[in-house]
Chains A and B, each alone.
Chain A
Amino acid sequence: MKGNPVRIVGGMTLALVAGALLLYGAHPVRGSDHQDSPTTVNRPAADITDVFAYQAPHNPNNVVLQMDVWPLITHSQLGMVALDPAVMYQFKIDNTGDGVEDLVIQLQPTTAGTGQSINVYGPGKPNETGTYSSFIPQTGSVAFNDRSGTPLSNGMKVFVGPTKDPFFFDLLTFFNIIPDRYYGCHAPFTNAFGVPCGGATASSFNGFTSAFNQQHSTSCSLTPASDTLSSHQFNVIAIVVEVPKSLLLNPAHPVMGVWATTSTTSGS
C-alpha cells in the first residue's frame, strides 16, 4: 500500500507530522464524509467525518451535538493527533426554519498537540451568517481528552478527544460500484487502495440472502459484507457538546436544523 503526498499544517513537530502523514496517507478511504476534498485531505484535523444529534441519555432536557474529525486514526497515532489551532470548529443551528444559522457554538484549541486546551464559545447569535465567521463571546474552556464533563458556566458539557469511529459502511464495495466517489481516482492522489478508476466493477452490495433474491427475482451478491472502518479499528477525534435544550429551543419553531463547519483564516 502506497502513501499519498499529504501536507498538514498546524504547528506539529516535524517528526509528529511525518508519522501522521505516513499513517493518514496509508489508508485512503472515505466514509460518511471521510477525506472528501483536497483541502480536507491536506488538513485532516478540519475534515469532518460525521455529525450526530441525540437526546442526552441521562437527561432528556439536554441535547448532544457531536462532530467527528480527523478520519482513519490508528492506535499508534493516538498520542500525536489533536485539534488544529488554526481551525474554528463550529456547530450551526437554524431554529427558525429558514436554513440560516440563528445560533452557533464555536470551539478552537489554544495550542497544537494533545496537551491542548480548547476554548468554547456560545451558544450565541453569530456575528455573521454564511461562510465567513468570527468568534462570539467565550463561555469557557476544556482540556483535550478530559472525560469528566464538568459543566461550563451555562450548563454545557464539552468533550474533545479520540474515540472509535462510530460510522460503518461497506466502503470498498461502494467504490467498486461508483469509482468516481473514491478520492484516489482523482489527481493528484494515487490509487493506493486498489480501487479500479475506470467503470464500475461491481453492481451489487454484498451480504444478501437467497431468500432476498428469490423475493425480488434478483441475483444480488451473497458474499458476506464487511465494514472497512471497524475492521481496521480506525479512530476519529470527537467533539461532543451537551447543551440544555433551553439554550437552543425556539418555542415558536421547535424543529432545529444542525450542521457543522470548519473554517480557517486562510481558507485552506
Chain B
Amino acid sequence: MQRHPFRVLLTGAALAALAGCGGNTVGNQLPPNRTVPQYQQIERLSRPAVKEAFEAFANHDQTNRSSPTNDGALQTAIQTFLGPPAAGGVANRSSAISNFIVSVLIPDEMKVDLSQTVAGCGPPNAPCAAYLGVETGGATGSKFGGRWLNDDTIKTSLGIIFGNTVPALGGAPDDGNESWCLSDDNLSNGEGTFQSYGNTFPYVNQPY
C-alpha cells in the first residue's frame, strides 16, 4: 500500500475530533412544559459497522439511545477492542493507532464537505462520495467524504482496524501487529454482488 502525505491533515482532523468529544454533554433532559409530543430516540446510526465491529450486541441499546457527543460506551468499546487481548482486546494495536482510530470515529458522525465537488460524479454508476474522504484528506477518493451506495466500507474499516491503513496514511507509526487474515472480507475482488446505480432520482434500485 502506498504512503500518502496526509499526516498534517489527519492530525488536524484528530485534534478537531478530540476537541469535539470533550466536555459537551448535550442535554437528554426533557424540556419542561412541552405541549407537543416528545419523541425519545431508540436508534442512532452514522458510520457503518462501527457498533457492529467494536461493540457487543448487549451494549448497542445504550449507544442507540445516546447522542454523538455523549456516547462514552462506544468510545470505551472501541478502545478496548483495539487493545491487547490481556485487556479484553481483539485487534492488539498500538496505543498510537488506537488513539488515532478513536479520534476519527468519535463523535460518530458521517463527515461531508459541502464545499467540495466530486469529480466524475454524474454518469450512471460513477461514485458520488468517498467514505472517510474528509478524515483522510481525500485519500479514499475525494475530499467530499460522505458515503456512496457502492463504497466498500467494510474493506476500508477492516483495513483500518486490522491492516496497515492507518500507518500507510501517516496517522500513526506501523506497530507490526496487523492481522492480515482479518484485514479484508474480499467482497471487492469480484466475489461480491455490486449493484449498478443510475443517475436519476431516487438513485436506488427497484427491490428484488
CB within 8 Å for A55 and B128 given contacts A32-B48, A159-B204, A254-B114: yes
Q: What interface size band does chain A fall in? A: 35 or more
- Measured in the bound complex, the distance between the Cα atoms of B101 and A209 in whole Å is 28
**Chain A stretch 93-113: residues in CB contact (< 8 A) with chain B:** 94, 97-100
* Interface contact A98-B207, CB-CB below 8 Å: no
Contact with B along A152-180 (1 / 0, CB 8 A): 00000101011110111110011001101
* List of A residues within 8 angstroms of B187 by Cβ: 168-170, 207, 225, 227
User: What's the dominant secondary structure at chain B's contact region?
Assistant: loop
* Interface contact A254-B115, CB-CB below 8 Å: yes
- Measured in the bound complex, the distance between the Cα atoms of B69 and A49 in whole Å is 21
* List of B residues within 8 angstroms of A132 by Cβ: 28-31, 38-41
How many residues on chain B are close to A (CB under 8 Å)?
A: 98
How many A-B pairs have beta carbons closer than 8 Å: the answer is 339
* List of A residues within 8 angstroms of B206 by Cβ: 163-164
Among B29, B41, B134, B194, the one with the most A-chain Cβ atoms within 10 Å of its Cβ is: B41
Contact with B along A117-131 (1 / 0, CB 8 A): 000000000011111
Residue A141 at the B interface, CB < 8 A? Answer: no
* Interface contact B40-A164, CB-CB below 8 Å: no
B119 to A: closest C-beta gap in Å: 10
* List of B residues within 8 angstroms of A33 by Cβ: 45, 48-49, 51-52
Residue A235 at the B interface, CB < 8 A? Answer: yes
Contact with A along B57-77 (1 / 0, CB 8 A): 110110011111110000000
What are 23 A-B contacts with C-beta separation under 8 Å? Answer: A37-B57, A37-B60, A43-B42, A52-B147, A55-B146, A57-B203, A64-B128, A88-B39, A98-B24, A98-B69, A131-B67, A132-B41, A149-B201, A157-B201, A159-B201, A159-B202, A168-B154, A180-B57, A186-B57, A216-B178, A257-B68, A259-B45, A259-B46
Binding site for A on B (CB under 8 A): 16, 20-21, 24, 26-31, 34, 36-49, 51-53, 56-58, 60-61, 64-70, 90, 107-118, 121-124, 126, 128-129, 134, 144-150, 152-154, 158, 178, 180-182, 184-187, 189, 191-195, 197-208
Binding site for B on A (CB under 8 A): 30-33, 36-40, 43, 46-58, 60, 63-64, 66-67, 73-75, 78, 88, 94, 97-100, 127-135, 147, 149, 157, 159, 161-164, 166-170, 173-174, 177-178, 180-183, 185-186, 203-208, 212, 216, 218-221, 224-227, 230-231, 233-235, 238, 240, 242, 245, 248-249, 254-268
